[in-house]
Amino acid sequence: MFERISVDQEICGGKPCVKGTRIPVYMVLELIEAEIGFDKIIADYYPNLTKEDIKACVEYAKMLVKEEEIHFAAELRE
């Protein structure tokens, strides 16, 4: 499903990374959160990434949020 994302306990402590790199997905997402565009991320931070790699990071994060189940304690619902 995510050909560009890998999880390996021996790389970055098992954090999801862009495949073939030691660049954690969360670091790419932090740059996007800081409103840094894909072209600038590639030019100034990670020149070995492609736009497709960055998009895969976003898609991976979306999948995690979509699949996550949230359970609220009864007192929080009132």
Tens digits of residue pLDDT in 14-67 = 999 999 999 999 999 999 999 999 999 999 999 999 999 999 999 999 998 888
54 domain-assigned: yes
Output the pLDDT for position 16.
96
Residue 10 pLDDT > 60: yes
77 domain-assigned: no
Interatomic CA distance for residues 49 and 32, integer angstroms: 14
78 domain-assigned: no
Q: Which residues span the domain enclosing 34?
A: 5-68
73 domain-assigned: no
For 20, 45, 67, the CA distances from 50, given in Å and listed in that order, are: 12, 12, 26
Provide the 3-class DSSP secondary structure of residue 72: coil
Output the pLDDT for position 77.
56
Residues recorded for the chain: 78
Q: Give me the number of domains the chain comprises.
A: 1
Provide the CATH number for the domain around residue 35.
1.10.10.10
